[in-house]
Amino acid sequence: MSDRPLSDCCCVRRERLSGAQADRAHPGRIPASGSEAHADMIVLPGGKFQMGDSFGEGFERDGEYPVRNVELNPFRIDPCAVTNAKFARFVKETGYRTEAERFGWSFVFHLLASEEIRRASKRMPGTPWWLAVEGASWRCPEGPGSTIEGRLEHPAVHVSWNDAAAYCEWSGTRLPTEAEWEYAARGGLAGRRYPWGDDLEPDGQHFCNIWQGQFPYRNDESDGYAGTAPARSFPPNGYGLYNMSGNVWEWCSDWFSPRAYKEDRRVNPTGPDKGQAKVIRGGSYLCHESYCNRYRVAARSSNSPDSSTGHMGFRCAADL
């Protein structure tokens, strides 16, 4: 396993800055049509697959091992992360306020913020590329003055696990389990690093939105994006799913434990019964091999359920 340190490019947490709690908010009782919510979902057959890091490239503290045979029931999953357009509809119909809005701030990557916001915002100790930006939310991803105009088909970000769960309750869906997420990300390929194979850039082509350049100071943007890309960018995997590597981290339903692969059941695993952080999967536009290689399909990380950042979103799943 890699001996690189656990990286806060992935999992900067709200409680590191404040122990405050946001008042809980629940979605309005105007559920979306179940058939409508499921119409765009892709049905996956389930069955047995090998879950975990077979290359020894993971972080020791992440617990990506041992590789194990897991069996899943068939399920549905969204082809891409929930977009700003879909999240805006949820908010319009329910009046829901995200935790970032109720706390009054969220985490923004420093190069995406304006100079004025960089000067005014507190930087996280040890990871000064993360700014606690007053007024940052899914509506204003880089803080006051920013907007989702022109980004309606990008993933909704600054969405906590609690916010994602509220959206799922409204839409008649749920968050995928971690095992379902990895099975879906592999796209039918066994034992590969990425959803498309083992080569990060086959024939020099970009297949995901991650960092190029020197993290965290210079992004060459050779994949075309400094921040989020549209939710259906780059070629889909073998199951027709987009951006299972890079772009935004995606929440899963499971509580996180580095011992989960040793202790959890092998048929329809759901993770520990309790914990302090929820699993996030897929990596983001901030991942780079020199610092955080968690854009691999086996990679896993976590964050507290009330945390929100400019590089975390979610996609929905559903039972058949």
Please write the tens of the pLDDT for every residue from 117-150: 999 999 999 899 999 999 999 999 999 999 999 9
Q: What pLDDT, on a 0 to 100 scale, did the predictor assign at position 38?
A: 84
Q: What pLDDT, on a 0 to 100 scale, did the predictor assign at position 16?
A: 54
Q: What pLDDT, on a 0 to 100 scale, did the predictor assign at position 291?
A: 82
- The CATH code of the domain at 33-95+154-319 is 3.90.1580.10
pLDDT exceeds 80 at position 1 = no
**Residue count of the chain:** 320
Q: What pLDDT, on a 0 to 100 scale, did the predictor assign at position 14?
A: 87
Locate tokens 């996280």: which residue? 124
Confidence of residue 28 (pLDDT cuts 50, 70, 90): very low
pLDDT exceeds 60 at position 23 = no
| Single pTM value for the model | 0.94
Q: How does pLDDT run across 249-273, given as a tens digit for each residue? A: 999 999 999 999 999 999 999 999 9
Interior angle at CA 244, CA 14 and CA 280, nearest 5:
25
Helix (H) or strand (E) holding 180: helix 178-186
pLDDT exceeds 60 at position 306 = yes
Establish how many alpha carbons lie within 13 A of residue 279's alpha carbon, considering only the half-sphere containing its beta carbon. Answer: 31
Average pLDDT over the chain reads 92
Q: How does pLDDT run across 163-190, given as a tens digit for each residue? A: 999 999 999 999 999 999 999 999 999 9
Q: What pLDDT, on a 0 to 100 scale, did the predictor assign at position 292?
A: 87
**Max mean pLDDT range (12-16, 17-21, 279-283):** 279-283
Q: How does pLDDT run across 75-127, given as a tens digit for each residue? A: 999 999 999 999 999 999 999 999 999 999 999 999 999 999 999 999 999 89
Q: What pLDDT, on a 0 to 100 scale, did the predictor assign at position 6?
A: 43
Of 37, 16, 223, the closest CA to residue 105 belongs to 16
Establish how many alpha carbons lie within 13 A of residue 20's alpha carbon, considering only the half-sphere containing its beta carbon. Answer: 10
Residues paired with residue 105 on neighbouring β-strands, in sequence order: 134
Look at residue 155 and give its three-state secondary structure: strand
Confidence of residue 22 (pLDDT cuts 50, 70, 90): very low
pLDDT exceeds 50 at position 276 = yes
pLDDT exceeds 60 at position 158 = yes
